[in-house]
Amino acid sequence: MSKIERTVGEVYRDDPERADAVVFGRRGDVSRRGFLGGSGMAALSAAVGGPIVFGAAMPSGLIPAALAQEANTDPPADAPAHKGPQLLQYPGKDGNLVLLGDKPLAAETPEQLLDDETTPTSKFFISNNGQVPEATKEPDAWKLTIDGEVNKTLELTLGELKSKVRPVTRRMVLECGGNGRSFFIPQARGNQWTNGGAGCAEWTGARLADVIRAAGLKPSAVFSGHYGADPHLSGDPTKSALSRGVPIKKLMDESNLIVWEMNGKPLEPIHGFPVRLIIPGWPGSVSAKWLTRIWLRDKPHDGQGMGGTSYRLAVKPMLPGSKVDEKNFTDLESMPVRAIITKPANGTRLGASIRELNLRGAAWAGDYTVRAVDVSIDFGASWQRANVNQPKNRYDWQRWTATLKLPSEGYYEIWSRATDSRGIMQPHVAGNWNPQGYGANPMHRIAILVG
């Protein structure tokens, strides 16, 4: 085997194909399978912590899951050195969220912390676009406005809204539009979310469609624009931190809520206190926090975060780094199908006698439902169907379980993939690269070591 001037993990991180050549002695058309008993496989096994049980099926160029997190979260050269991810310390959070950015604040939930049927507020991800406004001391006096293409402008306080409607509670997924961004190669702009920019909470509030109907929706209304009280990062009062909207058909979805409670308690300030929108299935950026206004428009909204490449996907594939043609982009609407493994955690080490592994996880699919979840322990050479539960209500995630037989001690990768109700399946790797990294939903992979 060639001399390795860096660690195996570093070589795989920087150049997976070269790593194959170094580790397995692969050159040209020579198959890696011929080197499984040599020093190359021994080096890779040492890097991941044990013999790779199904190494013969391991795809060429694949960064092993045991090394992938390091590869995906490689800090900038000028970043301060620290071991492992930086954890968020914030009131009301449990200290285990991974800090992705502080201006604006963004923190994701490690997959193993998403093992609850209902995501506790203390474990719920954070994604902001501006500053957090000062919490009001009189929440029921908070004012909401519904205007634009309506028969009458509706202005009411939160207290009036509560008194006029029968509250509705729904358990629904809220997901950051950039969830999965870190899986793009090369790296796209923005916070490097893995799978933890999502959570499924119990939301309580008024049906948005009922409030819009009370204002009298005109036939000319085609789109909405949502506004919150969060100040722009610059502090400039003339600028919006974010103002996104949705087509009227999505706006009038009966599952959309104007909410004031999360998991049975008033919203936390970081999650939009005293009132916010929940428009499930679509990027979380349309679910405005600290809601003040919904503007009904006779044309697509053009607020901050609309147009260009913001929350948009390339229609025709583009070469990473190539010139952007805005005409080739369309809004990200329904979020893509995704399944995650929530138990065991990535990096779990089990006793040498363990020969059966119980898996748990969650899956969701934007506006759609999850038809199936499949799992593999042999790098996708074979798949086993998991048991998938039905959602509690529309837009709830679907919990799943599976039991796998482990033939021996050693290193395993557990892969999970979901298929939505249209038959669309998660890909092996993130596809359709775009400058701001939306729509990445590759299969989830975790590493475990037995013995």
Last residue of a domain, one of 331, 348, 366: 331
Q: Are residues 401 and 431 in the same domain?
A: yes
Q: Tens place of pLDDT for every residue, the chain, 451 residues? A: 444 455 555 555 566 666 655 555 544 444 444 444 456 677 788 888 889 999 889 887 788 898 875 544 444 444 444 457 899 999 999 999 999 999 999 999 999 999 999 999 999 999 999 999 999 999 999 999 999 999 999 999 999 999 999 999 999 999 999 999 999 999 999 999 999 999 999 999 999 999 999 999 999 999 999 999 999 999 999 999 999 999 999 999 999 999 999 999 999 999 999 999 999 999 999 999 999 999 999 999 999 999 999 999 999 999 998 999 999 999 999 999 999 999 999 999 999 999 999 999 999 999 999 999 999 999 999 999 999 999 999 999 999 999 999 999 999 999 999 999 999 999 999 999 999 999 999 999 999 999 9
CATH of the domain at 241: 3.90.420.10
Q: Are residues 297 and 349 in the same domain?
A: no
- Domain count across the chain: 3
Q: Are residues 174 and 240 in the same domain?
A: yes
Q: Are residues 279 and 350 in the same domain?
A: no
Residue 407 included in any domain: yes
pLDDT, tens digit, for every residue of 354-370?
999 999 999 999 999 99
Residue 78 included in any domain: no
Q: Are strands 444-450 and 348-350 parallel, antiparallel or unpaired?
A: parallel
Peptide bond before 91: cis, by omega within 30 degrees of 0? Answer: no
Q: Are residues 349 and 423 in the same domain?
A: yes
Q: Are residues 243 and 217 in the same domain?
A: yes
Residue 270 included in any domain: yes
Please name which of 114, 104, 100, 83 lies closest in space to residue 181, comparing C-alpha atoms. 100
β-bridge mates for residue 401, sequence order: 360, 387
Q: Are residues 317 and 365 in the same domain?
A: no
CA dist 131 and 86 (Å) reads 21
Residue 89 included in any domain: no
Peptide bond before 344: cis, by omega within 30 degrees of 0? Answer: yes
Residues in Cβ contact with 433 at an 8 Å cutoff, skipping those fewer than 6 apart: 184, 185, 186, 188, 314, 317, 318, 320
Owning domain of residue 142: 121-331
Alpha helices in 113-203 (DSSP H): 158-164
Q: Are residues 133 and 55 in the same domain?
A: no
Q: Are residues 347 and 198 in the same domain?
A: no
CATH of the domain at 442: 2.60.40.650
Q: Are residues 188 and 327 in the same domain?
A: yes
Q: Are residues 290 and 141 in the same domain?
A: yes
CA dist 112 and 345 (Å) reads 5
Contact 425, 439 (CB under 8 A): no
Measured torsion, CA atoms of residues 260, 265, 267, 268, in degrees rounded to the nearest 10: 170
Residue 95 included in any domain: no
Residue 283 included in any domain: yes
Residue 81 included in any domain: no
Which SS3 state, helix, strand or coil, does residue 253 take?
coil
Work out the widest C-alpha separation in the chain, in whole angstroms.
Answer: 77
Residues in Cβ contact with 133 at an 8 Å cutoff, skipping those fewer than 6 apart: 229, 230, 231, 290
Other CB atoms within 10 A of residue 291 CB: 23
Q: Length of the chain, please?
A: 451
Q: Are residues 137 and 251 in the same domain?
A: yes
Measured torsion, CA atoms of residues 420, 422, 428, 434, in degrees rounded to the nearest 10: -100
Last residue of a domain, one of 290, 305, 331: 331
Residue 444 included in any domain: yes
Contact 362, 399 (CB under 8 A): yes
Last residue of a domain, one of 331, 349, 364: 331
